[in-house]
Amino acid sequence: MGTLEAVVYGVVQGLTEWLPISSTAHLRIVPALMGWQDPGAGFTAVIQLGTLLAVLIYFAKDLGKAIAAWAKSLTGGPSTADSRLGWAVFVGTIPIVVVGLLFQKAIKGSLRSLYVIAAMLIVIGVLMLIADKFSPQRRKLEDVTWRDGIWVGLFQAIALIPGSSRSGSTLSGGLFAGFDRATAARFSFLLSVPSVFAAGVKELVDERDHLIGPNLTPTLIATAVSFVVGYASIAFLIGYLQKRSTTVFVAYRFALALVLLGLLQSGRIGPMSGAEPADTNHVSATR
């Protein structure tokens, strides 16, 4: 991977990790269109550490209070809004850990098909539209309970399917739970911390032989760029959802899915590789 590719992947990761449009979808589509090799699920998980750092810094105060209150509750401390938030994040992480371990092979393999990604762009887009239009949106972050953690955590587990979007899935779950848009987004970001950290560290260990060496510098570049762009994306989304609905993101998901399906049907790109045209080389478009 060259420096240009690393920068592009970092920008794409930073822009799309926190916006509800699926970072995995874009990190599969970009190399397919550019003729680059699919960077793989391992690379994607590692550069997510950059966007995770953006969350840690942006929400440092919220996270610090929640962790401290949660720790006190373990030793008999009082139940407060912060301790309940800590418990919600804790129990909300369980579903994605269990599902991720059970279906790890499929997540890294067959589910990375661009057909699956196109389908999930539409499915979660519909879910976001329903949640935004019909949920009451009255609750705030101080109203969160451990039950909300389980509920939104189940939606986060859906995001293991490429094309879903962790942000889009958990935002929908938060809206269905009755939180307003900005609060649902904040809870989505906070809930992401343990699972993104665990996935990034796991892939860093598993893929260390591949990432260390000639790929180390591109990986570091992509991670650093994703941090800078990711921080800006968080600030943008929080501000945007305080005044506007998710409709623009839903429309984008639908448009991207249609473009992707058109490219697949025309043979311009193949479903399982970065650039796999169905042409005279007898390469199967369904491989």
What are the sequence ranges of the domains in the chain?
3-266
Task: Report if pTM > 0.85.
Answer: no
Q: How far apart are CA 76 and CA 56, in angstroms?
A: 27
User: Is 162 in contact with 112 (CB distance < 8 Å)?
Assistant: yes
pLDDT at 274: 47
**Tokens 């550019």 correspond to what residue?**
34
Angle between helices 216-241 and 40-58 (to 10 degrees): 50
Q: How far apart are CA 167 and CA 75, in angstroms?
A: 33
The low-confidence residues of the chain, meaning pLDDT below 50, are 274-287
pLDDT at 210: 67
pLDDT at 212: 64
**Tokens 């490429």 correspond to what residue?**
162
Rg (CA), the chain: 19
pLDDT at 284: 30
pLDDT at 257: 94
pLDDT at 2: 81
pLDDT at 119: 93
Residues forming a β-bridge with 179: 139
pLDDT at 211: 64
Q: How far apart are CA 37 and CA 31, in angstroms?
A: 6
pLDDT in tens, 6-40: 899 999 989 998 899 988 788 878 887 888 877 76
pLDDT at 229: 94
**Tokens 């591949």 correspond to what residue?**
210
